[in-house]
């Protein structure tokens, strides 16, 4: 790591920690956590859909506290799920002695998925959670939970329809826990994910209607992995054909010091053009035009 890289990485980390370290969970958030514990105990034997993200890690940790050995973690190994996240999920479960089952799914074989329609998430979630239900049943578990939080109902989430149709439980949402509350409670519990950047399916990096392939998903995964290695944590590489549009946290825009290195690496991956979004990271930015169309109807 060169001196410039070290200084930039140090500054990013200081800014991030200063922004979050002073905050703590409110009494209301702690009361919601107690309601969550009670709800999980009421379910009995339960399986948790576990992606190693902020929400599912918090849910799994609280469920382990509530249920002990009556708990099963389920993770899908799919092409749109970063390999590092799968490794993190396995490591977390091993460290805590939580039963963990991984099911391998060919996402591109799911009907309609690779065509990438606006309801792609619905098609994918429905298939994956059916597999989770089948696998859980083999372990003698009938209840399956997932990590939708209270904030998620306010944004475009077609996958929530599949969750409802299949009878999957969403205990974080039911307890009224927001993303911020989950992070702060995770911090109090000593969970390493409390300050972890939001991670989403790699398919969200593409415009609706663009054909998804294993090669394209791999290009985006490798591009984001390289940016993570450079110290950029909350990052998205949005794919527009052969153009890569990079989104990073707004406060990090002014210290984006690796332009030539990033441009060279992404072109090696197959992108013809590489650009930086001056608006910074925006969750769900690929949904902007779709949501505008829906509002106009």
Per-residue three-class SS string for the chain: CCHHHHHHHHHHHHHHHHHHHCCCCCHHHHHHHHHHHHHHHHHCCEEEECCCCHHHHHHHHHHHHHHCCCEEEEEEECCCCCHHHHHHHHHHHHHHCCEEEEEECCHHHCCCCCCCCCCHHHHHHHHHHHHHHHHHHHCCCCEEECCCCHHHHHCCCCHHHHHHHHCCECHHHHCCCCHHHHHHHHHHHCCCCCCCCCCCCHHHHECCCCCCCHHHHHHHHHHHHHHHHCCCCCEEEEEECCEEEEEECHHHHHHCCCHHHHHHHHHHHCCCEEEECCCCCCCCHHHHHHHHHHHHC
Per-residue pLDDT in tens (0 to 9) along the chain, 297 residues: 455 455 445 545 544 554 444 578 999 999 999 999 999 999 999 999 999 999 999 999 999 999 999 999 999 999 888 888 999 999 999 999 999 999 999 999 999 999 999 999 999 999 999 999 999 999 999 999 999 999 998 888 899 999 999 999 999 999 999 999 999 999 999 999 999 988 889 999 999 999 999 999 999 999 999 998 888 888 999 999 999 999 988 877 766 667 888 999 999 999 999 998 988 888 777 777 666 665 666
Tell me which fold the domain 200-291 belongs to. Answer: Alpha-Beta Plaits (3.30.70)
Q: Phi/psi at 271 (nearest 5 deg)?
A: -80, 140
Report whether 43 contacts 72 (CB < 8 A).
no
Question: Domain 27-189 - what CATH class?
Answer: alpha beta
**Domain coordinates in residue numbering, the chain:** 27-189, 200-291
């Amino acid at each position: 790591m060169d001196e410039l890289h070290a200084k930039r990485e140090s500054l990013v980390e200081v800014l991030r920690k200063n922004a979050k370290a002073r905050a703590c969970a409110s009494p209301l958030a702690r009361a919601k956590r107690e309601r969550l514990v009670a709800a999980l105990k009421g379910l009995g034997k339960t399986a948790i859909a576990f992606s190693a993200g902020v929400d599912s890690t918090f849910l799994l940790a609280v469920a382990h506290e509530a249920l002990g050995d009556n708990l099963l973690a389920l993770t899908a190994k799919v092409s749109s799920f970063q390999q590092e996240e799968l490794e993190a999920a396995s490591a977390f479960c091993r460290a805590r002695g939580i039963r963990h089952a991984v099911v391998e799914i060919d996402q591109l074989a799911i009907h309609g998925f690779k065509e990438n329609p606006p309801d792609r998430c619905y098609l994918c979630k429905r298939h994956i959670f059916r597999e989770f239900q089948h696998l859980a049943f083999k372990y003698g578990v009938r209840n399956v939970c997932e990590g939708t939080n209270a904030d998620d109902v306010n944004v475009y989430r077609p996958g929530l329809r599949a969750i409802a149709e299949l009878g999957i439980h969403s205990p974080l949402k039911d307890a009224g826990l927001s993303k911020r509350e989950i992070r702060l409670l995770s911090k109090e519990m000593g969970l390493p994910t409390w300050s972890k950047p939001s991670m989403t399916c790699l398919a969200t990096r593409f415009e609706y209607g663009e054909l998804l392939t294993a090669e394209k998903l791999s290009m985006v995964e490798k591009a984001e992995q390289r940016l993570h290695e450079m110290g950029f944590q909350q990052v998205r590489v949005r794919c527009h054909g052969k153009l890569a549009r990079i989104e990073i946290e707004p406060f990090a825009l002014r210290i984006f010091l690796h332009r030539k290195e990033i441009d060279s690496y992404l072109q090696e991956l197959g992108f013809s053009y590489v650009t930086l979004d001056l608006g910074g990271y925006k969750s769900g930015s690929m949904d902007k035009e779709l949501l505008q169309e829906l509002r106009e109807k």
